[in-house]
Structure 1
C-alpha cells in the first residue's frame, strides 16, 4: 500500500511537471488573426507589424483576415461562436467595444468580449487636405462658429474614438460640426483626400501615412508626437483634450484560462521586441502593455471614463 502511494505520488509529479511544457508548445500551428475593420487602417497596420515578429518568435504563421462592418460590431458579435483553442484571435478597440453596446443593440455586450492584451493607442488628430483653406485649427474654429453645422468631419465609425473626439472638440471649442462615420480609418481618410468632407478626425498614424497629402492641425496627446514635432497639441491651443483609440486582442469566451494566458503572453513577447517597438513609434503608435492579469482594472477605468462621455453625447446606456 505504501509502495503504491509512492508510485501514485511520483506519477502525479510527472503529470504536473509536464503541464508547463504543454503550455510552452503553443502555438503548434498557424494562428488566425481577425481584424474587424477594412485593410489599411491602424488595426491592420499594427497586425502587419506584429505578423513577422510572431513568425520569428514562434516559427508559425499568423494569418491576418478581415471581417469588417458596423464599426467592428459585425466581427465582435461573432467572436464567441468561434473556436476557443487559441488559434483564432480578434482585434478589439476602445472606446468602440464599450460605447457601441451603450448606444444600441449591436449583437454583443462589452462583458461578452474576453480581452487578453491591449498593446497600443493612437492619439486623435484633426486632418484636412493639403490644399485646404484651413491653415490652422484657429481658422477652422472661426469658420465653424460663423457657419454652424457646415464643417463636416469624417471618422472611423459611430461611437468610436473619432466620434468621441469630435463631440469633445465641439464642446470645448463652442462649435457645432457634422460627423460622418465610415467603416474604418482608411475610407474615412479617403473621404478627406477626395474632398467629400472638409476635415477628418483621424489618428497620428493615418496622418503620417498620408505624408504631404494632408495637413495636421492638432493632436490629442499630452506632449507633441515625435513624428509630428511641429504640430501643436490641443492643450497647447487651449483645449484640454487628450485621447485616442486603444487596440488589443481578444479570444472567444470558451477559451480556458490557460489559453487566455498563452495568447496574452504571446502578444506581450511581440510587444517586447525592440525592432517592433521602434517601428510602432516610427509609425505614430504609442506602445502600452496591458496583459490579461491587469485587464479587469484597465477596462474598469476605461468604462468609467467613457460613461461620462456617453452622458455628454446623450447616449442612453443599455
Structure 2
C-alpha cells in the first residue's frame, strides 16, 4: 500500500561521491547548535543524531548538542518549533508519518505545513518482530492466532498515528487478523516491552532487529526486496501481503529561519549523509539512507500526504 512506487530519493552507491559547496565558505553555524529530538533517548531519532554529531563537528567546528523533548508522540516538540529563534541555532528532528497523520487525525497544536523541513535523510523499513523464544515462528502463525481469537495478540509499536501504528492497521486490512495495538513512547521503550513480555509481537524496524539480533526474530520486512542485512527474512510481499513502508526522518527549523540558512543547513546534512564512513555505519545498523534536500521537500511531502490519506480514515475511527 505504501511505497509501491519506488522512491526516487534513494541514492545509489555512487551517491556517496556527491559533492557540495565547500564548508569554508559557509557562514552557518557560528556557534553550538541545539538539536531537539521529540522522543526519549535510545530510539532511531536519537541514535541518528548521535551518529551525526562528530561529522557535524568536523565539518563546521561547532558542537551539535542533542536534547530531548518527548511527549504526545512528538507533538509536544513540533507544536513549539516555531516559538524558537529562527537563527538556525535550534533545529529539530522530524518524523513521517507522524507530522502528517497527527494533524489529519486530531489537533496536536500544529499543522503539517507549519513544519519547515530542510532535509529528509533516512528511512527505516517496518518489520514484524518476536522474541527468540516466541511460539510464533512465521507471520502465518501470528495471522492464525489473531484471526481465531481477535484481539488476543498484543502488538507493540511507537505511539499512535505513527509508522508502526500504520503498519499494524495495514497488516490487519491485508490479512483479516485483529490485533490489540499498544503504543509506546519511543523505539527504545518498545524493545523493552517486547523483551519483557509485555507484548506478543512488535512492529519495529530493521534497525531494532540489527540491535537485538540475539534476542529477537524478524518474521517479515516491509520492503520491496529483501533487506541485505537479513537475506533469510521474507518481505511481506513474498507472503502475499501488500506492505511496503516505514518511518522517514529528517530535520526542521523554525519557520522564521532565513532561506539562506535553511539551504546551508540542508547542504550540511547532505554532506554528512554523503560521507562513506557515515553511510556504512548507518547501513550496517539497518537504516536505508535517502537524500531529500530542501529544494525537493515540498514534492516529497505531497507524495507522502497522498500515501497516508486512505489509512488515516481508519485510524481516525479508532481515536
> CA 1:252–1:22 in structure 2 vs 1: closer, same or farther (change >3 Å)?
farther
Name the SS for the 1:71 alignment partner.
helix
SS in 1 for 2:257: coil
Contact preservation (8 Å) 1:95, 1:160 = yes
Match in the other structure for 1:202: 204
Whole-angstrom distance in 1 between the partners of 2:213 and 2:231: 14
Offset at 1:316?
10
The aligned residue for residue 248 of structure 2 is: 246
Match of 1:29 in 2: 31
Q: Give the structure 1 partner of residue 101 of structure 2.
A: 99
Q: CA deviation at 1:25?
A: 2.1
Deviation by residue 1:146-197 (Cα, 9 ceiling, x = unmatched): 1111111110010000000000000101111111101111101110010011
Structure 1 residue 145: Cα displacement: 1.2
CA distance in 2 between counterparts of 1:39 and 1:115 reads: 22
Write the distance in 2 (CA, Å) between the matches of 1:296 and 1:315.
29
Alignment match of 1:169 (pick from 155, 168, 171): 171
Q: Give 3-state SS (helix, strand or coil) of 1:34's partner.
A: strand
Whole-Å separation in 1 of the counterparts to 2:215 and 2:260: 47
Displacement after TM superposition at 1:94 (Å) = 0.2
2:161/2:315 contact within 8 Å kept: no
SS in 1 for 2:289: strand
Aligned residues: 298
- The one-character-per-residue Cα deviations of 1:196-231 (angstroms, maximum 9, x if unpaired) are 111110111012111111111111011111111111
Scaled by the length of structure 1, the TM-score of the pair is 0.91
Output the CA distance in 2 between the equivalents of 1:54 and 1:150: 47
For residue 58 of structure 2, what is the aligned residue in structure 1? 56
Q: 1:127-166 alignment to 2 at 5 Å?
A: 127-166=129-168
Partner residue in 2 for 1:192: 194
Query: Greater Rg, structure 1 or structure 2?
Result: 1
In 2, Cα distance between equivalents of 1:239 and 1:184: 26
CA distance in 2, matches of 1:309, 1:47: 30
Measure the CA separation in 1 of the matches of 2:40 and 2:102: 18
Given that 1:94 and 1:161 are in contact with CA atoms closer than 8 Å, whether structure 2 keeps it comes out as: yes
RMSD (Å), alpha carbons? 1.7
| Preserved CA contact (<8 Å) 1:154 1:188 | yes
Instruction: Report what 1:41 is aligned to.
Output: 43
- Please state how far the C-alpha of 1:250 moved relative to its aligned partner: 0.1
**Aligned pair partner of 2:236 in 228, 234, 255:** 234
Report the Cα distance in structure 2 between the residues aligned to 1:315 and 1:228, rounded to whole angstroms: 35
- Does 2:52 align with 1:77? no
Q: Deviations over 1:83-124 (max 9, x none)?
A: 111111000000000001111111111111000000000000
The CA distance in 2 between the partners of 1:121 and 1:71, in whole Å, is 18
Q: Secondary structure of 1:124's match?
A: strand
Structure 2, unpaired ranges of 5+: 1-21
Q: For residues 294-313 of structure 1, what are the structure 2 equivalents within 5 Å?
A: 294-313=296-315
Contact between 2:105 and 2:316, CA under 8 Å: does it hold in 1?
no
Structure 2 residue aligned with 1:256: 258
State the alpha-carbon separation in 2 of the partners of residues 110 and 316 from structure 1.
21
The DSSP-based 3-state class of the residue aligned with 1:212 is coil
State how far apart, in whole Å, the 2-side matches of 1:72 and 1:99 are: 12
Quote the Cα distance in structure 2 between the aligned partners of 1:89 and 1:267. 12
